[in-house]
Amino acid sequence: MSDEEWGFKHERVCGFIRHFVDKPIYNLSSHETHARTMWQTLEFFYASKSGINKLYLLKNFVELKYKDETPFTKHLSEFQGCCDQLLVAGINFAFLLITLPDSCETFWVSMISASPNGIVHLQMEKTSALNEEMRRKVQGTSS
C-alpha cells in the first residue's frame, strides 16, 4: 500500500476510536492521525500502571456494591470490568462476595464456611451468586 492509503486507514481507525470515547478523552486525542500513536496516548492517560491509577481502580472496586432490584448479571458485568482493569494495572485479586449487600451475608458466610480452607475461587463465587439469585427469584425474594 502507498503511504497515502496507510494514512487514510489510520485516520479511519482514529475516527472509529473517537466514536467510542467521552468528550474529555476525545479532546486529548483529537489531533492524532496515526492509530498507534492515538492508542498510546489513550493508554498513557487511562491505562497507566501508576500508583494514582491503581488507587483509583481499587477505590472503584471497593465502592462497587450490588444494587437491589437489578439483575445480578449486570452487577457481575461491572465486577468483571473492575477485575479486568485491576489485572491490566498489575493487581491480581478479586472478591465478588464483598460487593454483595448485607442482605446476602448469610449466603456468603455459608459459602466461605463450605470452602476448603475458607478460600473461594472467583468462578465459584460467580456460579454460586447466580444460583443464589435464581433461588431467591423462585422463592419470591428480590435481593
If you search the block for the grid coordinates 443464589, which residue do you land on? 132
Q: What percent of the chain has pLDDT over 90?
A: 0
Report yes or no: 76 and 83 within 8 Å, Cβ to Cβ: no
Residue 8 has what pLDDT?
86
Q: Is the same domain home to 111 and 84?
A: yes
Task: Judge whether residue 69 has pLDDT over 70.
Answer: yes
Tell me which H or E stretch contains 120.
none
Q: Which residue has the higher pLDDT, 50 or 65?
A: 65
- 3 state DSSP class of 80: helix
Q: What is the mean pLDDT of residues 69-74?
A: 87
97 and 129 part of one domain: yes
The count of structural domains within the chain is 2
pTM over 0.75: no
Could you tell me if 28 and 67 lie in one domain?
no
Contact 96, 81 (CB under 8 A): no
Specify the pLDDT at position 31: 79
